[in-house]
Amino acid sequence: MEFDISKPYCRYFSEMLQIPHGSFHEQAVSDWVVAFAKEHKLRYVQDEMGNVVVYKPASEGYEKHEPVILQAHLDMVCEKLAEVEHDFTVDPIQTEVVDGWLQAKGTTLGADDGTGVSYMMAILADSNLKHPALECAFTVQEETGLTGAMNLKKEYFQARRMINLDCGADGTTMTTTAGGVAVTLQENYIMEAEKKQGYTLRISGLLGGHSGGNINKERANANKLAARTLWRYLKEQQAVQLVSIHGGNKENAIPRDCVVVFASEAQEEQLQSITQAVWKEVQREYADSDPSIQIELTKMETQTKMMTLEETRSLIQCLVLLPSGLQASSMVIPGLPMASMNLASIHLEGGECVIHYSLRSALESWLDQMSDRLECAAEVFGFRMTVSNRYPAWAYRADSPLRETFAKVYETMTGTALKTGASHGGTECGVFCQMFEEMDIVTCAPQAEGAHTPQERLNLEAFDRTYTILTGLLENL
């Protein structure tokens, strides 16, 4: 199967690949949508961030039908293989077709969410389709915190039902996505000048993974394992003084490694045997869910600056007590996390300690509750706490007329039942629910894999099939 640009959605996608459109660099692609709207004599608004909403009147006979929003984001995640030369601010995405899949040559493809953008343009351009009045929202900065969507104004929209073209996959529509918030805890410690033997405690080999999709898989958190080991030294009367901690990098990833430097006058064998004991316990606990964990202690050079014994003890106790991982599961949707806290990173250097958390839940009250727990911990242990990047949840709705219609249409068209999915990740659906409480949403997207990685690829057969289903759905709205 080829990437056939005689099909309008393939042509629009191929045009889009020529225009660099990483997050925060969407002006050109936003202007491209505006030029398209002008060319097709469609009413549009473009805001100062680059969000564009294009309006298309109902087709003949659909004038009395309720309008519907179609929605996709213009920005893409820019990732490439180390050996590939590619400047995402200038270079077009180079593609190839392998076994019926469209993929980029060593970079992300941007099928997330170029497919949704192309579908909307193909629908807007086609005067033979049947549909109610359409409000097509092309948003910016989705991948960096849904900030484009959050800037949309209520008055842009009349519709109270929406088809999101960014999540789910072939034959699966999503029914809920999480909201989230980032929390940062900070504290400064006095570094004493002393001379003591240095040690490196290294936690590595963990599976990690996305903190939305993998938080319920009982994987270990490297930061928590480090805290647990450090506490055991103290518990077994081995005095240690912290020098530095570096665990985890990305807010949306479960930390896979943590490196702690500390100073101690304890006997090395004592420290080693405690480390080994903790490692054995951990191996047993995670044998099924995270089987390659390493915990190693190595001697290093003498340290000359370190935290006091007392403050070290306080910080270690704090790290042991800080909550992390899955907090609650949905009882309606099996396997779906309801609330989670990812202790994403700890960085201690030169006496300055910074801890990053990402909290997720489909219920706003859970986000508040988890944030409160951290606030209490911060108060007890003397941390300053800041809360940022809050984005709203799309809560599950048992009664969804739009989902019912979609299920009927899907079954009629394909002979198979539409599946429903649920995600613990954040999407723009939540932003639209926050804007209009009564918003009824389904999602419709073709099968693609490896989003946000250079392995991203789009199934071309699914790209065709999903377009047919999408236009079939519009005809029945």
Q: Retrieve residue 292's tokens.
A: 């390659």
CB of 451 to Zn ion, least distance (A): 7
Q: Which is nearer to Zn ion, 167 or 227 (CB)?
A: 167
Peptide bond into 166 cis (omega under 30): no
3-state SS, residue 465: helix
Among 26, 75, 113, 428, binds Zn ion (CB under 5 A): 113
Among 75, 135, 166, 290, binds Zn ion (CB under 5 A): 166
Q: Which stretch binds Zn ion (CB under 5 A): 40-48, 107-115, 310-318, 416-424?
A: 107-115
**Spatial separation of the C-alpha atoms in residues 325 and 334, rounded to whole Å:** 18
Among 79, 112, 135, 456, binds Zn ion (CB under 5 A): 112
| Contact predicate 344/248, CB 8 Å | yes
CB of 146 to Zn ion, least distance (A): 10
CB of 112 to Zn ion, least distance (A): 4
Q: Which stretch binds Zn ion (CB under 5 A): 164-172, 189-197, 212-220, 364-372?
A: 164-172
**How many chain residues touch Zn ion (CB under 5 A)?**
3
**Spatial separation of the C-alpha atoms in residues 191 and 198, rounded to whole Å:** 15
How remote is the C-alpha of 50 from its chain's centroid? 22
Q: List, in sequence order, the alpha helices (H) in 168-218.
A: none
Q: Which is nearer to Zn ion, 202 or 452 (CB)?
A: 452
Kindly write out the interface string for residues 34-73 of this chain, putting x where it contacts Zn ion by CB under 5 A and - elsewhere.
Answer: ----------------------------------------
Q: Which stretch binds Zn ion (CB under 5 A): 112-120, 231-239, 366-374, 394-402?
A: 112-120
CB of 23 to Zn ion, least distance (A): 11
Question: Is the backbone of residue 321 left (phi > 0), alpha (psi -120 to 50) or beta?
Answer: alpha
Q: Which is nearer to Zn ion, 26 or 112 (CB)?
A: 112
Residue 269, CB-side half-sphere exposure with 13 Å CA sphere: 0
Q: Which is nearer to Zn ion, 166 or 311 (CB)?
A: 166
**Spatial separation of the C-alpha atoms in residues 453 and 110, rounded to whole Å:** 10
Q: Which is nearer to Zn ion, 113 or 311 (CB)?
A: 113
Q: Which is nearer to Zn ion, 26 or 113 (CB)?
A: 113
CB of 71 to Zn ion, least distance (A): 11
C-alpha pair distances (Å), 263 with each of 186, 271, 298, 308, 325: 22, 12, 12, 10, 30
CB of 109 to Zn ion, least distance (A): 12
Residue 79 touches Zn ion, criterion: CB under 5 A: no
Residue 156, CB-side half-sphere exposure with 13 Å CA sphere: 25
Q: Which is nearer to Zn ion, 132 or 168 (CB)?
A: 168
| Contact predicate 241/196, CB 8 Å | yes
User: Nearest-CA neighbor of 290 among 221, 212, 210?
Assistant: 221
Q: Which stretch binds Zn ion (CB under 5 A): 28-36, 51-59, 163-171, 216-224?
A: 163-171
- Hey, what amino acid is at 138? F
Q: Which stretch binds Zn ion (CB under 5 A): 36-44, 56-64, 159-167, 280-288?
A: 159-167
Q: Retrieve residue 370's tokens.
A: 């988890």
CB of 73 to Zn ion, least distance (A): 6
Q: Retrieve residue 4's tokens.
A: 């056939």
**Spatial separation of the C-alpha atoms in residues 356 and 347, rounded to whole Å:** 9
Q: Which is nearer to Zn ion, 187 or 456 (CB)?
A: 456
CB of 305 to Zn ion, least distance (A): 45
CB of 56 to Zn ion, least distance (A): 23
User: Nearest-CA neighbor of 186 among 353, 322, 5, 320?
Assistant: 353
Q: Which residues bind Zn ion (CB under 5 A)?
A: 112-113, 166
